[in-house]
A and B are shown apart, each in its own frame.
Chain A
């Protein structure tokens, strides 16, 4: 296992270097510079600003300085938000994205698993149809459309009753995170529901489950003790890409719900040619996602001991 983890870490470092290099090249291909403004800046002032951020140096030198700083954990200063470090920006804004993202993941996973189980146990009946409906909505309707619909629903109820059941947008209380988490989490709910349903149906048809039924184990016992752990593997496999999709796809939800998250910041920095923020956040996201995928891969071994045994047999 240790060898495996070390090998994965090494591959991750190479991946991150490649991502940093490609992003560096791409951002410098964009037209303009971080200081472009509709109101013309006198050339002398522009030259001062370019020198301040090292943009007057040759590109290969800028790349070398960037890599050296990266290795030392220095992501540089924002070129548009004077005085703010990229690390400071990530520290300030990522917790908001993480909060919404985590809630969306928990909502997506928990509800998805529950609905998948209900669906599998009530195959062909009303609950199964209901879960299929939710799955289709979750997969077909983009999250930003759902976000808008939720807002209108809250306003409609507010106009009807005179009470706001939830804040329409903004970030503050727990209530203000409910709508964005649901809007972001409905797609995972849909995917997890269908995966769980299919997996559970297959597991429930296994002989050992039939034996458990015959022995008089309760339906709850069958699901919790015998079926759940075996059915959950596809969900674990999906967790990696799901986390990636949620964390990187949160920009639209953050924009609609006015959440001061990192996704919204990241996209704005691309439009503003804020090189350091774009590079820093890209490397940060890449590191985060690589770590998540690694954790998911390691967790396979703990959830299904057969994977660990199989790996040991292959090594020997």
Chain B
């Protein structure tokens, strides 16, 4: 062998030895708190860390780590606990909410968090030039919508007043029993005006261009790479924040995430239903409700789906138990109502506990009868061809094939599958250019209204073409009445109408499967609002 090749091979061997010498121990023992960060898989990059411009789940999770509103979501479903405000009062008519801020709530530069910080933030969200996509969450406030849409120019007319440095008052258009949950959302997080003016165009573009008032500080941010959080030494409740360092990574490939969990690179991540068999004997695997629902949505202007009996036939022809067990395999539950379990009811129970668990059954024989009658009503004798619009993921296509097979075998309905991008699907839905679409919804806050107000006449999300005057009346009661029992009754009635008219067919209540280190305790995974919270998390058996 030529001499130079021998030299090269020796160098290669030396390089390999050097690399292996740097390798670390694999495994998943509890780290020493503060020495190694607990690592969570965020999956997707936050679109921004500017609180008023928050629109996506990832941004919500990142900001929940390092910012705090007047209130925060508690450990239990639907619970709201004091945050930057130590308490609040609501007037008898439910229209005036007054919040009293803590005097020891501080920014990460040591300055106090004051009522003006919240005023500045909410005004910023509602200012038209900010173009904040979620400004509409503040429309419950008097004149907020008019200010945001430019109908009025004077912000002092909006129902938001600073009483003093530590007192802020909201005046609403109608009583909103879940208004505190709205104030726990990111667009309601405070912004210090002085700091904002000092960074202006750079605000929230980098980790150093934002002030933090939450339990953690964002010390480093590699976009699409890593967020590094370190306990905020100025946080008012720092003695109860048990984990010193947390990192968020963005690993959107599920196989890679599972591999990183195995090798110790991640301590908490989501996996898909297809990966469950790999971990089914592992104590690290947890299946938890996400609070969302998946459903088939009809275009009721379609020549077949305008018929109620045909819609009901589709609903009853699909075997949801088989779907959940053999197709989805991710712990999802069959859905035969629209509001998922875990969403708050009136009397401290959940909505599902207080009202009907299901409105129909999977029944092929009944479905076939209805289908025949429906076609007879339409005076249609030929073959039925419809298109099912779904997303582009393997999961979407797999599910679509199941529905296709079920509807063909049980009803004789020919279903073509059209796979499209998210944008493409939205455009088609908004234009009414579809027959049937597989869609999902997850809650913004823990109240059935976040699901039920989807289908009001003229609602921005109602692409079904369906309209029902009584349904609209019931939702209006739910939006404007201050008595929670009355609201829940109205929404239960609305749900009954929805399920009797079937513009949408519930399929599953969504579950997510997590891999979580056994030593990581106290985290909260919610079914509404910001999905994950490490506020009460701790490392068990940490040295």
Chain A, Cβ-Cβ closest to B41: A258
Q: Is B260 an interface residue (CB 8 A)?
A: yes
Given contacts A52-B131, A114-B8, A255-B252, contact A121 B205 (CB under 8 A): no
Q: Is A14 an interface residue (CB 8 A)?
A: no
Q: B399 → chain A, closest Cβ, in Å?
A: 17
A44 and B149 form a contact (CB under 8 A): yes
Given contacts A82-B48, A83-B204, A159-B26, contact A168 B424 (CB under 8 A): no
Q: From residue 17 to 33 of chain A, which have CB atoms closer than 8 A to chain B?
A: 30-33
Contacts of B459 in A (CB 8 A): 40
B24 and A31 form a contact (CB under 8 A): no
- For B256, give its contact among A40, A42, A151, A260 (CB under 8 Å): A151
Q: B219 → chain A, closest Cβ, in Å?
A: 15
A31 and B4 form a contact (CB under 8 A): no
Chain B, Cβ-Cβ closest to A46: B133
Q: Mark A101-114, 1 if CB is under 8 A from B, else 0.
A: 00000000000001
Most chain A CB within a 10 A radius of its CB, from B3, B25, B203, B262 = B262
Given contacts A45-B148, A49-B131, contact A163 B24 (CB under 8 A): yes
Contacts of A245 in B (CB 8 A): none
A48 and B128 form a contact (CB under 8 A): yes
A258 and B253 form a contact (CB under 8 A): yes
A273 and B423 form a contact (CB under 8 A): yes
Q: Mark B8-30, 1 if CB is under 8 A from A, else 0.
A: 10000000000110111111000
Q: A158 → chain B, closest Cβ, in Å?
A: 4
B3 and A220 form a contact (CB under 8 A): yes
- For B27, give its contact among A33, A162, A272 (CB under 8 Å): A162
B5 and A118 form a contact (CB under 8 A): yes
Given contacts A35-B133, A49-B131, A162-B27, contact A255 B421 (CB under 8 A): no
A83 and B48 form a contact (CB under 8 A): yes
Binds B, one of A61-69, A169-177, A291-299: A169-177
User: In the assembly, what is the distance between CA of A82 and CA of B55, in Å?
Assistant: 11
Q: Mark B419-449, 1 if CB is under 8 A from A, else 0.
A: 0011110111000000000000100100000
Q: A181 → chain B, closest Cβ, in Å?
A: 12
A169 and B427 form a contact (CB under 8 A): no
Binds A, one of B221-229, B325-333, B467-475, B525-533: B221-229
Chain A, Cβ-Cβ closest to B420: A31
Contacts of A155 in B (CB 8 A): 26, 259, 262-263
- For A44, give its contact among B53, B150, B224, B262 (CB under 8 Å): B150
Chain B, Cβ-Cβ closest to A49: B131
Given contacts A48-B131, A162-B26, contact A148 B255 (CB under 8 A): yes
Q: Is A219 an interface residue (CB 8 A)?
A: yes
Chain A, Cβ-Cβ closest to B251: A258
Q: Number of B interface residues, CB 8 Å? A: 62
Q: Is B50 an interface residue (CB 8 A)?
A: yes
B460 and A92 form a contact (CB under 8 A): no
Q: A49 → chain B, closest Cβ, in Å?
A: 4
Contacts of A42 in B (CB 8 A): 136, 149, 460
Q: From residue 216 to 258 of chain A, which have CB atoms closer than 8 A to chain B?
A: 218-220, 223-224, 255-258
B423 and A152 form a contact (CB under 8 A): no
A152 and B133 form a contact (CB under 8 A): no
B204 and A171 form a contact (CB under 8 A): no
Q: Number of A interface residues, CB 8 Å? A: 67
Contacts of A40 in B (CB 8 A): 459-461
Q: B344 → chain A, closest Cβ, in Å?
A: 20
Contacts of B250 in A (CB 8 A): 258, 260
User: In the assembly, what is the distance between CA of A37 and CA of B265, in Å?
Assistant: 32
A41 and B460 form a contact (CB under 8 A): yes
Q: Mark B456-485, 1 if CB is under 8 A from A, else 0.
A: 000111000000000000000000000000
Given contacts A49-B133, A114-B5, contact A81 B47 (CB under 8 A): yes
Q: Is A302 an interface residue (CB 8 A)?
A: no
B249 and A170 form a contact (CB under 8 A): yes
Q: A140 → chain B, closest Cβ, in Å?
A: 21
User: In the assembly, what is the distance between CA of A39 and CA of B150, in Å?
Assistant: 22
Q: From residue 203 to 230 of chain B, which have CB atoms closer than 8 A to chain A?
A: 203-205, 222-226
Chain A, Cβ-Cβ closest to B256: A169
Q: Is A308 an interface residue (CB 8 A)?
A: no
Contacts of A159 in B (CB 8 A): 26, 262
Chain A, Cβ-Cβ closest to B54: A82
Chain A, Cβ-Cβ closest to B139: A42
Given contacts A164-B263, A165-B19, A224-B4, contact A256 B428 (CB under 8 A): no
Q: Mark B167-210, 1 if CB is under 8 A from A, else 0.
A: 00000000000000000000000000000000001011100000
Interface of A toward B, CB cutoff 8 Å = 30-33, 35-42, 44-45, 48-49, 52, 80-84, 88-89, 92-93, 96, 114, 117-118, 121, 148, 151-152, 154-155, 158-159, 162-171, 173, 175, 178, 218-220, 223-224, 255-260, 264-265, 271-273
Instruction: Return 24 A-B CB contacts under 8 Å, by A number.
Output: A31-B423, A32-B427, A36-B422, A37-B55, A38-B426, A44-B149, A44-B150, A45-B149, A80-B47, A81-B48, A83-B50, A83-B53, A151-B255, A155-B262, A162-B25, A163-B23, A164-B25, A167-B265, A168-B265, A170-B251, A218-B2, A220-B3, A258-B249, A258-B250
Interface of B toward A, CB cutoff 8 Å = 2-5, 8, 19-20, 22-27, 47-48, 50, 53, 55, 128-129, 131-133, 135-136, 148-150, 201, 203-205, 222-226, 249-253, 255-256, 259-260, 262-265, 421-424, 426-428, 441, 444, 459-461
